[in-house]
Chain A
Amino acid sequence: MIRISEDVKTKVGITLDESESQMVFKCDLGNMKVKDCYIDEEHPQEVDMLGPNPSRLLGLAILGCLSASFIFCLKKRKFKVDDFSAEAEVIISRNEKGFLRVKNIDINIKPNITDPDALKRAKQCLKTAKDGVSFFEQYCTVTQSIRSGIDVNVTIDL
């Protein structure tokens, strides 16, 4: 049970991979069913990469969080999606000093909902709340935390 005033801490770790490369790391995400995870900043080509680079991880964090928040919003009224997929595009550009920075992340969420009542609830979840974002986006810890520095644009194909 988490009290309202309590902070919650989550820990992760990495170690340098044994390969000759200096830019591949093995992740420690905890004791989960799927354990293999690598971060690869070494290889430019996807097929050579052992795992994602940090920009992809960030994109996936935002995408996963918003997807879970949308489904959570449906679940609160006991509705389900028939099918679900989503995509994120991370756009990186150089700042005024020439350093590459994440500029924006474009999210496209594609739920398949046939039940008219579930569709009605989904539309409620998309309604804009007082702070200018969709009702369901408020549930997403990660997205709302990064928006001061990165534009996150969300579209949902209902």
Chain B
Amino acid sequence: MTTELNTKVGLKQVEEMVFKGDLGSFKIDNLYIDERNVEKAEKNGTSPTKLLALSVLGCLAASFSYCLQKKNFTLSDLEGKASVTISRNEKGFWRVKKIDVEIIPKIDTPEMRKRADQCTKFFEQYCIVAESLRKGFEVNVDLKY
């Protein structure tokens, strides 16, 4: 119960504010962080704010899926959306105000719905990332099924 887990990531500058992320040795391993290019189509990759949102969204979606799987229910489809709102603090610096998460799983049977109803009460506790971030800003979850 006292075990700690360590995860390492790295990056290397490509040019100015564009970095190539080193997330480890994956099947698909190209991921860029681009804080320079403003126009979306010119961007080589994503922004830290989007990575943060994706981290929270992915974590909550996986936690919900895990909760269903614990009772052997399998999702045939799931969609998720996250919206990050940033605003300026009293000193004028941009800070994350809230992340609104919407998870839309496809629930196929009444038994699965019953389990999904149970999961709504506690699945967020399984998410390592969202619960740690909630001390800093709001994470609102809307589960639609």
Contact = CB atoms under 8 A, between A and B. Distances in A.
- Report whether chain A binds chain B: yes
B48 A142 contact: yes
A120 interface: no
Contacts of A53: 7, 58
Nearest to A94: B1
A10 B13 contact: no
Given A13-B80, A23-B66, A150-B132, A56 B4 contact: no
A149 to B, nearest CB: 3
Given A29-B54, A149-B132, A10 B93 contact: no
- A interface, by DSSP: helix, strand, loop or mixed? mixed
B110 interface: no
Contacts of B9: 52, 56, 59-60, 63, 87-88, 90
A157 to B, nearest CB: 14
B112 interface: no
Contacts of B52: 57-58, 61, 142, 146
Given A68-B17, A75-B16, A102-B132, A58 B83 contact: no
Interface of B: 1-13, 16-17, 19, 21, 23-28, 30-35, 40-59, 61-62, 65-66, 68-69, 74-75, 77-88, 91-97, 125-129, 131-137
4 tightest Cβ-Cβ pairs between the two chains A and B: A149-B135, A39-B58, A65-B48, A61-B51
Interface of A: 4-16, 22-23, 25, 27, 29-34, 36-41, 46-65, 67-68, 71-72, 75, 80-81, 83-94, 97-103, 138-142, 144-150
